[in-house]
Chain A
Amino acid sequence: MLTLILILLPLAAGIITLLSGAQLAKKIALVSGLAILATAVYAWLQFDPAAGTQFSYQYNWLSNGSILFSGGMDGISLVLVLLTTFLTPLIILSAFKHDYKNSPTFYALILFMESALVGVFTATDAFLFYLFFEAALIPVYFLAAVWGGEHRLKVTLKFFIYTIFGSLFMLVALVYLYFQTPGAHSSQISALYALELSAQAQGLIFWAFFIAFAIKMPLFPFHTWQPDTYTESPTPATMLLSGIMLKMGVYGLIRLLLPIVPDGLAQWGMVAMILSVIGIIYGSIIAIQQSDMKRLIAYSSFAHVGLMAAGVFSVSTNGLQGALIQMLAHGINVVGLFFIIDIIYQRTKTRYLDQLGGISQVSPQLSILFMILLLGSVALPLTNGFVGEFLLLSSVFHYDNWLGAVAGLTIILGSVYMLRLFQKSMFGPISKWVEGFQDLTLSEKAVLLPLVVMVFWIGIYPNTFLKITEPAVHQLLTLVK
């Protein structure tokens, strides 16, 4: 029941926000975002990691009970729900400085998005999963298309068509699987786990799922929509896309692809692994070349998600646990980094590294927080990135030494592009664009400080979260094997 509340609450809050006036809208959105976070935290406190799927709801939906409107949370879901509900109020708060036209619609769309995202992470029915998976696209499409930059029309249409294209293959696969289930058919994800499929069918379904999720994350070579979309979207939409929506793809891999088609994975896992590793290196190298800060982070995000996918495809406890903790870490870091870039952009009206410099001299607070988030992203020990990256690399290494070695380059390349970003923007002589730069305001600190706290929390004591997911991961791995 709690799960359903977590889906409906943002929806209701979104509708109220939509109907309220421009001044009130952001406050309502923020307060309801916090209330939803409180609900999620309450669920966390009530949660028993060993007890499997909890807080379930279930209603008849279609075909007299063979397709159910049902959901619930196990450890994997809970962690991602916590991430979603934690980031959403911060994203709302980060938009306060901007003067978006039609602001009630803007904030309402963010809340609708939250509702759909929680829905994706908690659905236990395959078609419900699909429904939320697609529904999450609609609000973010409008956020990007209405409030985005100059080339938004082309870029967002490409994004929408590209991602829908991928997920439609998943729909075909799900419909096929549904009709394979015995008796009156069932589309419960657990019923799909129990199917015995031929090797050929598994291979095809593997690709149908892989394309859907690979486009969403995105993995090489399906990433071409991503840098443009991230750059052209307004920053809150970019945060939603990179901080949370990207995780839908990784979650899909864990929840559907691994347990439903283990033989397909055995046939094609190596290809998927190689594509993921190519993505890591390719993304990092392009990131080094970027001068637009937003694009740089976009490519770094692309590189990071490649490593998460590689961990998932290794099908090991370390890989899955690492991917899950890295999803949290990456969500937190990337939202923080995009926000800092947005702050810099608002004050200097530029995002180009060549035009920036010397910000640390005028704004020490900003540069300290920037440094912490950045080091988290580089995976320095004691920050959140380290735990995930360590687990992930060890899992890839176990899978194949050579691939592990290549993927390990991410540590070096990551620090190259991140430190270059920091050095070019923060150090050096004060450029003319930076003159008159104000330090952080209160509301900006209110966004960044919780993120920084989480960087250290996950970095120093990751067990808080690893412990939640561990039983669920073990259960999943026994299913796969």
Chain B
Amino acid sequence: MYPIILLSVLGIVTLFLGFSKSKNVLLPSTLVFLIIALVGNFVEWNQGPLLYFYDMFRVDNLSLAFNGIVLASAFMIVAISGGFQNDADSEPAEYYALMLLSLVGAIMMIGFQHMIMLFIGVEILSVAMYVLTGSNKRNLRSNEAALKYLLMGAFATGFMLFGMTLIYGATGSFNLSQIQAYVTITNAATPSYLLYAGLLLLLIGMLFKVSAAPFHFWTPDVYEGAPTIFTAFMSTIVKTAGFAALYRLLDSTFAGAYDFWWLALAVIAVLTLLVGNIGAAGQNSFKRMMAYSGISHAGYLLIAVTAISQPSQGAIVFYSIAYSLATICAFAVLLLVSHEKANNEQLGEDYDAFNGLAKRNPLLAFVMTVSMLSLAGIPLTAGFWGKFMVFSSAADRGIIWITVIAVLMSTVGIYYYFRVIMASYLKEGDLAEIRVAPMFKAVMVFATVLTILFGLAPGLFEGLI
């Protein structure tokens, strides 16, 4: 609960800091604010399930862990934003304020106990994202992406709201525990189709946010159009918060209706895996590939959500950590490389941009390799254990066929992730050295070390939860 209050206040403080002449103060102060929020978050660790705001918001260790992932990801992303010093048109104070405030939305989505809270959280997060996507005002693609995201997002929110009303109609409540009681007792006796329709509509809205197929069409365009730093923000934080919300909804509240929704979700998971992996294989732009790879990872996470078995919870948390670390590293390297390759019209965001990276800067090449291996789920990286836990959760539920499909698709994944590794080690490119700011270096080294550490000793993470 503390981070919600802290971030709301500090977000507004950041806006006021924007009035000061020196723009250099913004980046460090935002980082400090995020640390304060992180500390505030873990104050309530192990204090058991607590309910706030008239039982609308719930705090337990799981939601605190998700908050931790979201806040730490935000910290790393802010650290590699470099203060937006390169762009004369940028408005750093507003960007940072929006990022901080959007985190409030993410935390509400993670800890909601009341449908209204979920709705407000989704909206706070999404509206901030619409704005940040279009923040590159003079770029056509950025504007197009923002508009597309806004229109599609508004549509999805409509579905979600409609779903909530139907659920309210069926159960007479917005509160998750009361809905749960209805689902397990009344609905089990006489199934209510109003409730099922509501649940489906609600799921459609949520699945749109985590870019699951067939609600994924916005993702590649928006990811490509948005400034890279906000793409990183979107692909990690929105996804983690979205899955936390989905899990909260399906794990306990709608567990009673498992027989109704599991097959629908399983089909969507398979579809997402197919679309994400096959789509990514055909891309030439690294950023679009990462968009499709984001879709495919949503597919893996959906497997864990579909299974809702004993290992699911750990699987989702661990997978989110592994995915966020690797994605942030990948986008950090892309930021550095594309900036070097940029000319007037087009940013250098194709695979070619990585050619010869190992010679230009071995550290960047190594970071990129580890991050790609982790996303591909190769052993010795955190990504492998993420996949392992996801497969375990499905196997525990006895759905083996879905893991077979997931396995086939992760082989496809190796193809496009390795294109980056091959470009950086095996192809010739420019020889200009890339200068890396200390802050970048620190973030990348930290994330890479964690990726390898979790890859060698995944038990460490279990100690944390």
Contacts and interface: CB of A to CB of B under 8 A. Distances in A.
A153 B426 contact: yes
A122 to B, nearest CB: 16
A164 B377 CA distance: 10
A61 B458 contact: yes
Contacts of A175: 388, 391-392, 395, 403
Interface residues of B, number: 28
Interface of B: 373, 378-380, 384-385, 388, 391-392, 395-396, 400, 403-404, 407-408, 410-411, 414-415, 418, 422, 425-426, 457-459, 462
Given A64-B462, A168-B411, A169-B407, A179 B395 contact: yes
A176 B425 contact: no
A456 interface: no
Contacts of B422: 145, 153, 157
B462 A145 contact: no
B459 A62 contact: yes
Contact of B415 (A135, A146, A161, A171): A161
B403 A172 contact: yes
Given A146-B425, A160-B418, A135 B458 contact: no
Contacts of B391: 171-172, 175
A134 interface: yes
A168 B390 CA distance: 14
23 contacts: A61-B457, A61-B459, A62-B458, A64-B462, A127-B388, A134-B384, A138-B378, A152-B426, A157-B418, A160-B418, A161-B411, A161-B414, A165-B408, A168-B407, A168-B411, A169-B407, A171-B391, A172-B403, A172-B404, A175-B388, A175-B391, A176-B400, A178-B392
Interface in A120-159: 127, 130-131, 134-135, 138, 142, 145-146, 152-153, 157
Nearest to B385: A62
A478 interface: no
A62 B415 contact: no
B462 A172 contact: no
B209 to A, nearest CB: 29
Interface of A: 60-64, 127, 130-131, 134-135, 138, 142, 145-146, 152-153, 157, 160-161, 164-165, 168-169, 171-172, 175-176, 178-179
A122 B400 CA distance: 29
Nearest to A158: B415
A480 B69 CA distance: 48
Contacts of B408: 165
Nearest to B418: A157
Contact of A135 (B379, B388, B411, B426): B379
Given A176-B395, A179-B395, 17 more contacts: A61-B458, A63-B459, A63-B462, A64-B462, A127-B388, A131-B379, A135-B379, A138-B378, A160-B418, A161-B411, A164-B414, A165-B408, A168-B407, A168-B410, A172-B403, A176-B400, A178-B395
Contacts of B407: 168-169, 171-172
Contacts of B426: 145-146, 152-153
Contacts, number: 73
A165 B458 contact: no
Contacts of A145: 422, 425-426
Given A134-B378, A175-B395, A157 B415 contact: yes
B425 A135 contact: no
Contacts of A169: 404, 407
Contact of A165 (B385, B395, B411, B425): B411
Contacts of B400: 172, 176
A349 to B, nearest CB: 23
Determine the main DSSP class of A at the interface with B: helix
Contacts of B457: 61
Contacts of B384: 131, 134
A131 B414 contact: no
A131 B380 CA distance: 7
B348 to A, nearest CB: 21
A351 B71 CA distance: 59
Nearest to A176: B395
A145 B458 CA distance: 29
Nearest to A64: B462
Nearest to B309: A179
A165 B378 CA distance: 11
A118 B395 CA distance: 30
A439 to B, nearest CB: 36
Contacts of A131: 379-380, 384
The 3 A-B residue pairs whose C-beta atoms are closest, nearest first, are: A134-B379, A168-B407, A165-B411
A168 B376 CA distance: 12
A175 B408 CA distance: 16
Contacts of B378: 134, 138, 164
B119 to A, nearest CB: 37
Nearest to B458: A62
Contacts of A153: 422, 426
A153 B403 CA distance: 29
A157 B419 CA distance: 9
A171 to B, nearest CB: 7
B403 to A, nearest CB: 5
A235 B459 CA distance: 39
A131 B462 CA distance: 19
Nearest to A142: B425
Contacts of A172: 391, 395, 400, 403-404, 407
Contacts of B379: 130-131, 134-135
A225 B418 CA distance: 17
A25 to B, nearest CB: 16
Nearest to B373: A138
A146 B358 CA distance: 11
Contacts of B392: 175, 178-179
- Most chain-B Cβ atoms within 10 A of its Cβ — which of A63, A165, A168? A168
A291 B92 CA distance: 66
- Most chain-A Cβ atoms within 10 A of its Cβ — which of B373, B378, B385, B415? B378
B347 to A, nearest CB: 26
A173 to B, nearest CB: 9
B43 to A, nearest CB: 27
- Most chain-A Cβ atoms within 10 A of its Cβ — which of B408, B422, B458? B422
- Most chain-A Cβ atoms within 10 A of its Cβ — which of B379, B410, B415? B379
Contacts of B459: 60-63
A161 B418 CA distance: 10
Contacts of A127: 388
A62 B422 CA distance: 33
A145 B391 CA distance: 30
B391 to A, nearest CB: 5
A157 B427 CA distance: 14
Contacts of A142: 425
Contacts of B404: 169, 172
Contact of B414 (A135, A146, A160, A176): A160
